[in-house]
Amino acid sequence: MSFLRALYTFSIAVLVLAFVVFGGAALPAPQPPDVPAELQNEGENPTEEQQALLTEQGQQQQVFQTRISTYHQVVSFVVIGIAIALLAVSILWLRRIVIIGDAVALGGVFTLLYGLYYAVSLGGGVLTFVAVLVGLVVLISLVYWRFVRRTEGIGEQSPDATQATPKQDDARGIAGKKGPLS
């Protein structure tokens, strides 16, 4: 692969990743609860009114934490899903368009790595596990369908396994007869 070809492939892959990352950042996130003005200047001994506000603030903070955790799980689920879709598209429809197909596949790999990092760093839950499981099954199926099933029948060796290596070809000599190297 030439340097320019590799550069274009890598550039498109990074732009695919950036598109997904910035698209995910555009999703509206839950906003944290506002701190009442009465609590901003709280001393060591809060009044009953301030104590009630502290309790209410704590409940609002717990609700916010639950919402933000769910938000991060959904974002990681969507990012991993997009990565799987990009990889599937590159395997199924873009395999003949060399630079673009390779770039979309590489961008899908980058996006998948980002989605997995995002999920792990924020304590991914069941939704993230399901996304990874479905992605794994889909990708293994597509790779098998594209690269294994088409090249060999059941119980047969792939055509590559039966072809002679260049060293074996040299040893056979002209017309397939064994030469002095064998």
Percent of residues, the chain, with pLDDT higher than 70: 76
Q: Is 91:142 a contact under the CB 8 Å cutoff?
A: yes
- Whole-prediction pTM value? 0.71
**61 within 8 A of 55, measured Cβ to Cβ:** no
Looking at the 3D structure of the chain, how many domains does it have? Answer: 1
- Asked if residue 88 belongs to a domain, the reply is yes
Q: At what angle do helices 3-25 and 98-121 cross, to 10 degrees?
A: 40
**Residue 176 domain-assigned (yes or no):** no
At residue 26, the pLDDT reads 86
Q: What is the pLDDT of residue 182?
A: 47
Question: What per-residue string of b and e applies to 48-67 under the rule 16 or more CB within 10 Å gives b?
Answer: eebeebeeebeeeeeeeeee
Q: Is 100 part of a structural domain of the chain? A: yes
Poorest-pLDDT segment among 15-19, 118-122, 170-174: 170-174
- Tell which wins on pLDDT, 163 or 109: 109
Q: Look at residue 177 and tell me whether its pLDDT is greater than 50.
A: yes
Average pLDDT of 27-51? 76
Residue 173 located in a structural domain = no
pLDDT digits (tens, 9 = 90+) for 63-102: 999 898 888 888 888 899 999 999 999 988 888 888 999 9
Range of the domain at 90: 3-27+47-150
Q: Which residue has the higher pLDDT, 130 or 156?
A: 130
**Is the pLDDT at 20 greater than 60, yes or no?**
yes
Tens-digit pLDDT profile for residues 101-149: 999 999 999 999 999 888 888 876 777 788 888 889 988 988 888 888 7
**Is 60 part of any domain?**
yes
Domain contains 40: no
Place of tokens 């889909």: 138
Is 51 part of a structural domain of the chain?
A: yes
Q: Is there a domain that residue 132 lies in?
A: yes
pLDDT at 108: 93
